[in-house]
Amino acid sequence: MEFLHREEAPLSPSQWNELDNVVINTAKNHLVGRRFIEITISADPAIQSIPYDIISETENGACGLFEDNECDIVKVKERKFLPIPQIYKDFKIHWRDIETSKKLGLPLDFSIAAAAAREVAVAEDKFIFNGDTSLGYPGILNIEGRNDIKKEDFSKEGGIFETAVKCIETLNSKGFNSNLVFILNPKDYSKAFRLFGNSGVLEINQIKELFDFGVFSTYAVPEGTAVALSTGIENMDLFVAQDIITAYIAYDNMEHYFRVFELIAFRIKNPQSICTAK
């Protein structure tokens, strides 16, 4: 991948491998959306735009001996083409750090690269949940056509559980009964670690029983808001034209500049698969 200009950087192949491992592992530790959203991999950074489809709502499939029962057709209701944005964070390494590593055989400290990777992961989740209106991308929290309900009081015992039940009931009423996910702000998530009534069971454990795909927390969801959704490529996917990687940018003012970046697009194909509670 010539566009990364790695051959211009004063790093050895083993140092690049170490840097890649640090960046990838750090990103994995912080990414939340990817834990439940299906990924479509293109692995072609030359792709600059992508179709964004909204799938029409349909009835259940038909059953018949001779296929003579009428059945509506699943089709694309709306299509638009959107640019694939770049999510990135730059970092720099001082020339003396690299020279010291070479002369003394000491490993380079790539903690600054890890910090950049963390910021890319945080930005990716913000993009997934909030979208980017300047680019035309809606997010989970604001896409038109989603289900939006009133939450219960999170400070009240059982309030988060009651909100989760209302979200489940809303999704069930729309035909979504499996691959269910619940997402909270970390502050609200921690509130759920309290006893649930006289059951002797934590409220968070009761909530986890409702969602077969898991319960997650991220600061991309505002405090006092909950999100439930049915995952699956038929409902949403994360299109990856270039997964998280590091490029060498330049040498300037005796500093070596690098960039951690990715090229992704988040597509919500069925807004009805999402329920927000505020």
Do residues 168 and 204 both lie within one domain? yes
Residues 106-163 have pLDDT tens digits of 889 999 999 999 999 999 999 999 999 999 999 999 999 999 999 999 999 999 999 9
Cβ(185)–Cβ(221) below 8 Å: yes
Q: Answer yes or no: is pLDDT of 63 > 70.
A: no
Three-state SS string over 193-260 comes to: CCECCCCCCEHHHHHHHHCCCEEEECCCCCCCCEEEEECCCCCEEEEEEEEEEEEEEEEECCEEEEEE
Instruction: Name the band, by pLDDT with cuts 50, 70 and 90, for residue 69.
Output: low
Residues 16-29 have pLDDT tens digits of 999 999 999 999 99
Do residues 259 and 135 both lie within one domain? yes
Do residues 36 and 170 both lie within one domain? no
Cβ(171)–Cβ(273) below 8 Å: yes
Measured distance CA(140)–CA(142) in Å, rounded: 6
Instruction: Write the CA distances from 4 to 70, 261, 269, integer angstroms.
Output: 54, 10, 33
Question: What CATH number is attached to the domain comprising 225?
Answer: 3.30.2320.10
At 138 the pLDDT is: 97
Do residues 252 and 160 both lie within one domain? no
Do residues 170 and 216 both lie within one domain? yes
Answer yes or no: is 63 within a domain.
no
Answer yes or no: is 49 within a domain.
yes
Do residues 219 and 241 both lie within one domain? no
Classify 14 as helix, strand or coil: helix
Answer yes or no: is 18 within a domain.
yes
Do residues 126 and 264 both lie within one domain? yes
Instruction: Name the band, by pLDDT with cuts 50, 70 and 90, for residue 55.
Output: confident
Do residues 104 and 134 both lie within one domain? yes
Do residues 220 and 244 both lie within one domain? no
Count of structural domains, the chain? 2
Could you list the residue range(s) of the whole structural domain that residue 10 is in? 2-56+73-139+237-270
Answer yes or no: is 51 within a domain.
yes
Cβ(90)–Cβ(249) below 8 Å: yes
Answer yes or no: is 258 within a domain.
yes
Do residues 100 and 7 both lie within one domain? yes
Question: What CATH number is attached to the domain comprising 49?
Answer: 3.30.2400.30
Answer yes or no: is 62 within a domain.
no
Answer yes or no: is 30 within a domain.
yes
Answer yes or no: is 275 within a domain.
no
Do residues 99 and 19 both lie within one domain? yes
pTM listed for this prediction: 0.91
Do residues 44 and 169 both lie within one domain? no
